[in-house]
Amino acid sequence: MLNGASRAFCWRAPMEPAGQTFGILLRRPTLRVVKRVLLGLSLVVAALLVPDCSGRTEGDLGAAPLRGRDMILVVADSFDGSHLGAAGYGRETTPFLDELAASGAFLERAISQTSWTLSSVVSLLTGVEQEAHGVMQIDESLPQSGLSTLGELFQRRGYRTVGLVQNAVIAEGTGLDRGFDRYEAIPFTADGAERLIREVRALTDAAERERPLFLYIHLGPPHMPYQPPEPFRSRFSKGASGSQVEGSIRETTDMMVEELAPSHPDVIRLLELYDGHIAYADSLIRRSVQAFESTGRSDPPVILVTSDHGEAFMQHGAVGHNLFCYEPMIRIPWILSAPGVIEAGRRVPGTGSLLDVAPTLVELFGLPRPGQPMAGASLVPELMGGGPIEDRPLLISSRYPRPGREAQLALVEGPWKFVVRRRGQSAQLFHTAEDPDELVDVLGLHPERGARMEALLEERRAEVRGSGAAARRELPEHVLRELDALGYGGQDGDGGQLGSLKGR
Ligand SMILES: [Zn+2]
Instruction: Report H helices in 366-422.
Output: 380
What is the enclosing helix (H) or strand (E) of 336? Answer: strand 334-337
Cα 121 to middle of ligand 1, angstroms: 8
pLDDT at 230: 95
Cα 387 to middle of ligand 1, angstroms: 30
Cα 329 to middle of ligand 1, angstroms: 10
pLDDT at 125: 97
Cα 267 to middle of ligand 1, angstroms: 20
Contact 346, 105 (CB under 8 A): yes
pLDDT at 479: 78
Cα 18 to middle of ligand 1, angstroms: 33
Cα 404 to middle of ligand 1, angstroms: 23
Contact 475, 139 (CB under 8 A): yes
First to last CA, the chain: 55
Region of 385 on the Ramachandran plot (φ > 0 left; ψ -120 to 50 alpha; else beta):
alpha
CA angle, residues 147, 151, 152, in degrees to nearest 5: 55
Cα 450 to middle of ligand 1, angstroms: 30
Cα 487 to middle of ligand 1, angstroms: 11
Number of Cβ atoms within 10 Å of the Cβ of 38: 12
pLDDT at 305: 98
Cα 481 to middle of ligand 1, angstroms: 17
Distance CA(139)–CA(250), nearest Å, equals 23
User: Which of 467, 497, 364 minimizes the C-alpha distance to 143?
Assistant: 467
Cα 224 to middle of ligand 1, angstroms: 9
User: Which of 171, 172, 174 minimizes the C-alpha distance to 135?
Assistant: 174
Distance CA(486)–CA(31), nearest Å, equals 45
Cα 332 to middle of ligand 1, angstroms: 11
Cα 354 to middle of ligand 1, angstroms: 13
Cα 258 to middle of ligand 1, angstroms: 24
pLDDT at 278: 98
Cα 272 to middle of ligand 1, angstroms: 19
Distance CA(431)–CA(445), nearest Å, equals 11
What is the enclosing helix (H) or strand (E) of 26? Answer: helix 23-26
Residue type, 186: I
pLDDT at 10: 23
Cα 223 to middle of ligand 1, angstroms: 7
Distance CA(464)–CA(200), nearest Å, equals 37
CA angle, residues 266, 431, 330, in degrees to nearest 5: 50
Distance CA(119)–CA(400), nearest Å, equals 10
pLDDT at 348: 97
Question: Half-sphere exposure of 201 toward its Cβ, with a 13 Å CA cutoff?
Answer: 12
Mean pLDDT of the residues in the chain: 84
Cα 185 to middle of ligand 1, angstroms: 15
In this prediction the pTM is 0.86
Cα 206 to middle of ligand 1, angstroms: 35
Cα 338 to middle of ligand 1, angstroms: 26
Cα 239 to middle of ligand 1, angstroms: 29
Contact 87, 110 (CB under 8 A): no
Cα 220 to middle of ligand 1, angstroms: 8
Q: At what angle do helices 4-11 and 30-49 cross, to 10 degrees?
A: 130
pLDDT at 63: 80
Cα dihedral 219, 79, 355, 109, rounded to 10, equals -150
Cα 144 to middle of ligand 1, angstroms: 23
Beta strands in 116-275 (DSSP E): 140-141, 160-165, 182-185, 213-219
Domains and CATH numbers, the chain: 1-10+40-46+55-65 (no CATH), 68-390+471-501 (3.40.720.10)
Cα 61 to middle of ligand 1, angstroms: 36
Q: Which residues of 120-150 are buried (b: 16+ CB within 10 A; e: fewer)?
A: bbbbbbbbbbbbbbbbbbbbbbbbeeebbbb
Cα 293 to middle of ligand 1, angstroms: 27
User: Which of 36, 405, 76, 373 minimizes the C-alpha distance to 222?
Assistant: 76
Q: What is the secondary structure of 34-94 as a DSSP string?
A: HHHHHHHHHHHHHHHHS--TTS--HHHHTT-TTTT--EEEEEETT--GGGSGGGT-SS---
Cα 209 to middle of ligand 1, angstroms: 32
pLDDT at 466: 66
Residues 6+ apart with CB under 8 A from 404: none
pLDDT at 30: 47
Cα 116 to middle of ligand 1, angstroms: 5
Cα 2 to middle of ligand 1, angstroms: 37
Contact 104, 336 (CB under 8 A): yes
Cα 439 to middle of ligand 1, angstroms: 25
Kindly give the confidence (pLDDT) of every residue in the chain, 504 residues in length, as a single tens digit, with 9 standing for 90 and above.
223 222 222 222 333 333 333 333 333 444 555 566 565 555 544 444 333 323 333 333 348 999 999 999 999 999 999 999 999 999 999 999 999 999 999 999 999 999 999 999 999 999 999 989 989 888 889 887 789 999 999 999 999 999 999 998 898 788 999 999 999 999 999 999 999 999 999 987 655 677 899 999 999 999 999 999 999 999 998 766 788 899 999 999 899 999 999 999 999 999 999 999 999 999 999 999 999 988 877 788 999 999 999 999 999 999 999 889 999 999 999 999 999 999 999 999 999 999 999 999 999 999 999 989 999 999 999 999 889 999 999 999 999 887 667 789 999 999 999 999 766 678 999 999 999 989 999 999 999 999 999 999 999 988 887 666 677 777 778 778 877 777 776 444 433 343 333 333
Cα 74 to middle of ligand 1, angstroms: 13
pLDDT at 443: 97
